[in-house]
Structure 1
Amino acid sequence: MTVFDSGPDDKLGPLRRVRAGVLDVAYHATGPPQGAAVMLLHGYPYDVHSYVDVAPALADYGFRVVVPYLRGHGPTRFIEAATPRSGQQAALGADVVALLDALDMPRAVLAGYDWGARAACVVAALWPERCAGLVSVNSYLIQDIGTAMTPISPYLESGFWYFYYFLTERGRAGLAADPRGVAEVIWRRNSPAWKFDPATLARTAEAFANPDYVDVVIHSYRHRLGYAPGAPTYADLERRLASQPAITVPAVTLDGMSDGNFPATDGNPAAKHFVGSRSHRRVPDAGHNLPQEAPQAFIDAVQDVARAHLLEKT
């Protein structure tokens, strides 16, 4: 494991690197090493700075907090040039398990939104023994790829313009040419009430300079819509995910009531996927990047799911 000085102003803790599965993962770590483990997982097109207020607060409460850059983002790198640059859900989940192994974490509370929530849901469903509890924005995010061609309302489809843009070579070229510009359009639609400034966007956009960013993102959206095959390594995991496995671990699910692309629900549409204890909360004035827009709601959710795990053990 390698530790770098990330500067005195970085509230996420020092930047570290560790080999985990197919990746050399860059991650921030803060809080006492003996504390209950929490892994905070970011989405697309975002990065670890979604947790700039959440991570230090959880560390102050005594949690051991790990905030990794996902594959294709920031300083995280693939170890081998021949490894497929997959962005599929099974790969994201497998990366989390590999990182838990590399950090000698038997289990952790897994918390995230967007790609990060999907990775957390995959681990909670397929490796429940590694997940002490789940915090997931937008509830159950394991993709049902078999029904990917079922249309949704035209209004919601319009918010997913980039799904279809990325199916084309024009979309690949557009993402490569201006990843920050693509992200800004998505941010504004996802979080219409969030008044982020140019510096906040620029800080996150630095993570898009990863040499594998375009390949991973493009594969993620093409795979989920059935336009690209998955990597053979993850074929068995994808078969298991196709059954939409239930989540048995304690869970808190969150919806931002100002999410422009994922309208808040009362939690009932996803209820059948949660067979353990689960609390669903709607967060006023928050959009899709909920931990950055409403950090206290996210902090409370992590604390509550950690307490639920302790109660289940007693």
Structure 2
Amino acid sequence: MTGPYPIRFARATMLDIAYEEHGEPGGDAIVLLHGFPYDPRCYDEVWPLLVAQGHRVIVPYLRGYGATRFLSSETMRSGQQAALGLDLVDLMDALSIEKASLAGYDWGGRAACIVAALWPQRARCLVTGDGYNIQNIPASVNPASPETEHRYWYQYYFHSARGVRGLTENRDALARLLWKLWSPTWAFTDDAFALSAASFQNPDFVDIVIHSYRHRYGYAPGDPILQPVEDRLAEQPLISVPTISLCGADDGVGPPDEEDGHQFSGPFERRILPGVGHNIPQEAPRATAQALLELLGKG
């Protein structure tokens, strides 16, 4: 369940967060956050480009992935967005990182957007996959276009008992299918998938994934401890830190909309990446690193 690099652990409020670290400890910190169903391997060609510029790079395993573990068996296995955002703050606190540059996509992009929106003093800048990733849960009852609903089939599958069994018994096959559907022009190898799929064997993976996709539609209650943060996120807070949004032109689950900058009040740029699907950093590592370095004045 570990990758090709040494795993370290940070004791957070709810978790022992597994993470990989690269670069000089005294360098300006950058945190790179993976999505579902991926893991830190998606950044293997990104972090060397950042380390070469003198940065300290932290790549955590999200809750439910790899060697990250809950401290208590009594803690709710929540996958809600507030949990992801607070995990990131907890990680930074545990590592004594007052302020970091943040990059992420999918679930990791959500965590990064939440911290940039609610605790902007902790974010030097933001590179987000597909723009504003904070869920509008109160509006989740409103149907999207039929085309969008069709692409979300896996989310509705997870709302059912059949979906729970399907994810439990076929997690690798299901994840591999999502990789193909979401990145139709990316020719990933069996070995590349296997390296990431090892992280899905975490004992909390299924519970957290199922809860995430049920909570965002209001079909499962959240952790009461996290409700104050969810209340703030329901207001759809603006993001004021300097941001670059990277959008894969071939993204099979979330094709780029015409515009996604209206919830960013600070400097903002949107870039469409031709030939790139949903797994932006693994498909376009140089574009990902370049966006961060430009925001840091090193591009």
Same fold at TM > 0.5: yes
CA contact (8 A) 1:265 1:282 kept: no
Secondary structure of 2:21's counterpart equals strand
Instruction: Kindly indicate whether residue 234 of structure 2 is the aligned counterpart of residue 271 of structure 1.
Output: no
CA offset digits 1:177-198 (Å, max 9, x no partner): 0111110111111100000111
Q: In the alignment, which residue of structure 1 is the partner of 2:79?
A: 87
Secondary structure of 2:241's counterpart equals coil
CA offset digits 1:107-166 (Å, max 9, x no partner): 101100000000000000011111111110100010000111212222221221110000
Query: For the aligned residues, what is the CA RMSD?
Result: 1.2
Matching of residues 26-45 of structure 1 within 5 Å: 26-45=18-37
Q: In the alignment, which residue of structure 1 is the partner of 2:277?
A: 287
Q: In the alignment, which residue of structure 1 is the partner of 2:292?
A: 302
Instruction: Kindly indicate whether residue 227 of structure 2 is the aligned counterpart of residue 235 of structure 1.
Output: yes
CA contact (8 A) 1:21 1:99 kept: no
How far 1:307 sits from its partner (Å)? 2.5
Instruction: Kindly indicate whether residue 132 of structure 2 is the aligned counterpart of residue 130 of structure 1.
Output: no
Secondary structure of 1:80's counterpart equals coil
* Structure 1, unaligned runs of 5 or more: 1-5, 309-314
Give the TM-score of the pair, scaled to structure 2: 0.97
Output the CA distance in 2 between the equivalents of 1:177 and 1:305.
43
Which one of 187, 194, 210 corresponds to residue 186 of structure 2? 194
Secondary structure of 2:228's counterpart equals helix
Which one of 247, 252, 259 corresponds to residue 255 of structure 1? 247
Output the CA distance in 1 between the equivalents of 2:253 and 2:18.
29
Secondary structure of 1:274's counterpart equals coil
Instruction: Kindly indicate whether residue 54 of structure 2 is the aligned counterpart of residue 62 of structure 1.
Output: yes
Runs of 4 or more, structure 1, over 4 Å off, are none
Output the CA distance in 2 between the equivalents of 1:160 and 1:204.
22
* Structure 2, unaligned runs of 5 or more: none
CA contact (8 A) 2:261 2:270 kept: no
Matching of residues 92-241 of structure 1 within 5 Å: 92-241=84-233
Give the TM-score of the pair, scaled to structure 1: 0.92
Secondary structure of 2:252's counterpart equals coil
Percent identical among aligned pairs is: 49
Which gives a bigger RCO, structure 1 or 2 (Cα 8 Å, sep 6+)?
2
- Residue identity opposite 2:178 in structure 1: I
- Residue identity opposite 1:131 in structure 2: A
Give aligned pairs, total.
297
CA contact (8 A) 1:139 1:254 kept: yes
Output the CA distance in 2 between the equivalents of 1:264 and 1:161.
19
Output the CA distance in 2 between the equivalents of 1:265 and 1:56.
31
Output the CA distance in 1 between the equivalents of 2:294 and 2:218.
37
How far 1:20 sits from its partner (Å)? 1.3
